[in-house]
Amino acid sequence: MTQYERMINGLIYDTCDKEIMEMQRPYKEKLWQFNQLNPFDGEAKEAYMKEVFAECGDYCCIELPFRATWGGKNVHFGTGIYANYNLTLIDDGNIYVGNRVLFAPNVTVTTANHPLDPTLRRYEMQYNRDVYIGENVWIGAGAVILAGVHIGKNSVIGAGSVVTRDVPESVLAAGTPCRTIREIGELDREYFYRNDKIDWENLSGICEAKSKLPKFQ
């Protein structure tokens, strides 16, 4: 079994293997070109994602700069995803992102991990575990999502959190390590910040109109 075959089969492998490094090179070069684009050229950015990513739906936007180990080769984007500045995806394994996910600035999602054994680390050994982020998730600024984590749909990850374990659906989770704070419920439909109420009478029309757009269906 080659080192690349070990890599894609979830085994410990040599990250400095010549075959792997040669396979990575064109993706890193394309990523460098992507980061030189005009930040307002949405069509060119979308064209890159659709060419390089394993999957990419419509209406996706990444603010530059963007970092990825394989340029996004192992990234699976749904529809209507927005990523703010400095998104880092360590996509040695697969990263699955559902529809309408929001990434705040400086978020890191990593599929890679190193063995605790010091000998294996010394020789640059690694293994990967896929990450799954459900639809309509919001990941706060500076959060770190670690290898193998599943985040349930409609959940919110607080800023600066380090997510080491799975997060269920429809909860607010935060902290280091990240833990569930509470469920997202009826009070969140009434208040958007502390005692500030949501003025649904002025927003419902906008929401209804947007619900008819393809990325909101």
In this predicted model, what pLDDT tens digit does every residue of 62-73 receive, in sequence order? 999 999 999 999
Residues 176 and 198 in one domain: no
Taking residues 31-59, what's their average pLDDT? 97
Determine whether 76 is an active site residue. no
CATH number, domain of 56, equals 2.160.10.10
At 216, is the pLDDT very low, low, confident or very high (cuts 50, 70, 90)? low
Count: domains in the chain: 2
Amino acid at 50: K
Task: Compute the distance between CA of residue 22 and CA of residue 108 in angstroms, rounded to an integer.
Answer: 25
Residues 127 and 31 in one domain: yes
Taking residues 180-184, what's their average pLDDT? 97
| Residue in the block written with tokens 């293997």 | 17
pLDDT at position 214 over 80:
no
Task: Compute the distance between CA of residue 127 and CA of residue 195 in angstroms, rounded to an integer.
Answer: 46
Residues 114 and 191 in one domain: no
Domain that holds residue 190: 186-217
The catalytic position among 25, 114, 165, 182 is: 114
Task: Compute the distance between CA of residue 184 and CA of residue 172 in angstroms, rounded to an integer.
Answer: 6
Q: How far is CA 217 from CA 77, 128, 137, 155, 208, in A?
A: 16, 33, 16, 19, 11
At 215, is the pLDDT very low, low, confident or very high (cuts 50, 70, 90)? confident
pLDDT tens track for 94-126 = 999 999 999 999 999 999 999 999 999 999 999
Amino acid at 45: K
Residues 86 and 156 in one domain: yes
Residues 144 and 210 in one domain: no
Comparing CA positions, the residue from 82, 131, 80 lying closest to residue 104 is 82
- Global pTM value: 0.95
Task: Compute the distance between CA of residue 184 and CA of residue 92 in angstroms, rounded to an integer.
Answer: 33
Taking residues 177-206, what's their average pLDDT? 95
